[in-house]
Amino acid sequence: MSDPASSSGNQANPRLMAAVAYFGGLITGAVILVVEKQDRFVRFHAMQSVVVFVAVLVMHLVLAGLPLIGVVLYLPFLIVVIAIWVLLMTKAWRGEIYKLPYLGDLAEQLLK
């Protein structure tokens, strides 16, 4: 699943790098995607982080543009985002490749 040494030249734990890809959302996902060139496990989680948090950003902007409904739906939206964020970091830390429906498949296609 993971290469013993990553292309970034360090001995970083692939599970840690995959979890960190989610930690800072779009930014850490993109940075790890640029830095890590070989480890498919880490790259998948970094790409899924980018895809998920771009979708979160778009949904945030949509909700912000809806005056009353956006305000009502924002708290449930935020709770779901936090739950997904924690789930993805946990799965990555455990060494699992967990694909979210649709977004995980998109992340996988973008890596090809």
Residue 5 DSSP code: S
Does the pLDDT value for residue 16 go beyond 90? yes
- pLDDT at residue number 39: 94
Give the predicted TM-score (pTM) of the model. 0.85
Do the beta carbons of residue 107 and residue 51 sit within 8 Å? yes
Does the pLDDT value for residue 3 go beyond 50? no
Q: What percent of the chain has pLDDT over 90?
A: 83
Does the pLDDT value for residue 8 go beyond 60? no
Q: Give me the helices (H) in the chain, please.
A: 14-23, 26-35, 40-65, 67-93, 103-111
4-14 mean pLDDT: 59
Token pair in block for residue 77: 């939206």
Do the beta carbons of residue 18 and residue 1 sit within 8 Å? no
Does the pLDDT value for residue 74 go beyond 80? yes
